[in-house]
Amino acid sequence: MFDVQQTKAGAHNRRVRMAEVNTTAKGKKLAHPSARAPRIFADTATYSEIEPLYKAGIINGVTTNPSLMKKAGAKNWDQVKEISQSICKLLDPNPVSLELTELTFDKMLEQAEMLASWADNVVVKVPIGGYQAVDPSFDPYTGLKVVRALWERDIKTNCTLIFNSTQAFWAANAGATYISPFLGRLADYAYKNDEVEKAPGNSLYYIDDHKNEKGDQNVFNTEFVASGGKRKDIGSRLINEISAMFTNYDIHTEILAASFRNFTQVSECLLAGADILTVPAPILEKVADHPLTDEGMVRFVEDSKVFDNEPAMA
Ligand code: G3P
C-alpha cells in the first residue's frame, strides 16, 4: 500500500476541533464529528438495493450507467425514466448520476436536457472519450465539449471513464462538477498484466474470506493487494495524484472514485483523498461486517448470557 501521510498540523487541528465538537456543556447539541468526511454513493440503479442503504444513512448519492440500468430491468426509455425518477425522489436532494447514451454533440445536449428535466437532483454523466473507438469518424473531443456546454447551462455533470490524472484535469477544465476515475478497472488491468504471484500470505491485509459474486476476488481484502504486485495499488495512486493536483490548484471538481472491487480499495481510496466513493451494493451491504467482528459479537452475546437474570435498576 502507498505511504500513508498524516501531517502534524492536521493531527493538532483535529484535536482542537474535538474539544469544540464533542462538547460536554449541558444542553448543547452534539455537532456531527465527520461533517467533512468523503461521502459514499451507491453504484447501482436497483431501487431495492438503494432504499435500505439510504435509510440506514450509509449513502447520500447514487451513480448509474447504462449497464446498471439494464441490470435493474430497464428495457426501454420509459422504464429508464421510471427507475431514475423513483431513485431521484427517494434521494432528493442528494445527487443521482444518469448517463448519456447519445454519441454526437447536438444529440447529447438534447438528451442531457431531457435527463436534467426528470428531477432537480439529476447529474448528467458524460463519457470523457472513446468516441472514435466507437466510430473513427466521431469527434474525439465530444465529451469535453458537452461538459463545457452543460456547465454553461448550469447543468451538473459527472465526467466518467477516467483512467489517468490528465483526463481528470481536462474534465475539470471543461467544467465538470464531478469526475469518475475507475480505480477497480485500472487495478484489474494492472493485475492481469503484472503477472504477480497470486498466493496470499505476504500482506497484513489478507485474511481468508468469501469471494465476490463472480467468485474471482475476495470481498473484504484482495488477493491482488496481498500478492505484493508491483502496481498493486495503481487505482488508489491515481486517486492520490488527482487529489494532489486538484488541491494544489484549488480545483473544485469533486473526485468521485468508482469501480470498487473490495474493502481494501475502499480504505486505500479514503486515504488517497477522494471526495466521494461510489461503491457497488454488494460491498456496501457488508460495511458493518468483518469475519472477526462476527466472531467477537458471537462471543460477547454468549458471555453476556451470564447476566440474564433480573436487570439491575438504577
Ligand atoms: O461507476 C462506474 C462503475 O459502475 C464501473 O464499475 O465494476 O463496471 O468497473 P465496474
Which atom of ligand 1 approaches the CA of 259 most closely?
6
Ligand 1 binding site (Cβ under 6 Å of any ligand atom):
43, 63, 65, 180, 182, 184-185, 258-259, 278
- Measure CA 218 to chain center: 18
Cell numbers 450509509 correspond to 58
pLDDT at 217: 57
Query: Residue 155 Cα, ligand 1 centroid: separation in angstroms?
Result: 23
pLDDT at 4: 61
The residue whose C-alpha atom lies closest to atom 8 belonging to ligand 1 is: 259
Homologous superfamily of the 36-184+236-286 domain (CATH): Aldolase class I (3.20.20.70)
The residue whose C-alpha atom lies closest to atom 10 belonging to ligand 1 is: 259
Query: Residue 204 Cα, ligand 1 centroid: separation in angstroms?
Result: 27
Query: Residue 258 Cα, ligand 1 centroid: separation in angstroms?
Result: 6
Domain ranges within the chain, ordered by starting residue: 36-184+236-286
Question: Residue 33 has which C-alpha cell?
Answer: 464529528
Cell numbers 465530444 correspond to 142
pLDDT at 31: 87
Looking from the CA of 283 toward its CB, the CA atoms found within 13 Å total 27
Q: Report the largest interatomic distance among the alpha carbons of the chain, rounded to a whole angstrom.
A: 79
pLDDT at 68: 97
Q: Contact at 8 Å (CB) between 298 and 225? A: no
User: Which one of 125, 156, 232, 286 is the catalytic residue?
Assistant: 125
pLDDT at 313: 64
Residue 107 known to be catalytic: no
Q: At what angle are helices 165-174 and 142-152 packed, to 10 degrees? A: 40
Tell me the pLDDT tens digit for each residue of 222-270: 444 433 445 567 788 889 999 999 999 999 999 999 998 888 788 888 9
pLDDT at 227: 39
Ranges of the chain whose pLDDT falls below 50:
1, 195-209, 221-229
pLDDT at 225: 44
pLDDT at 11: 86
Question: Residue 97 has which C-alpha cell?
Answer: 448520476
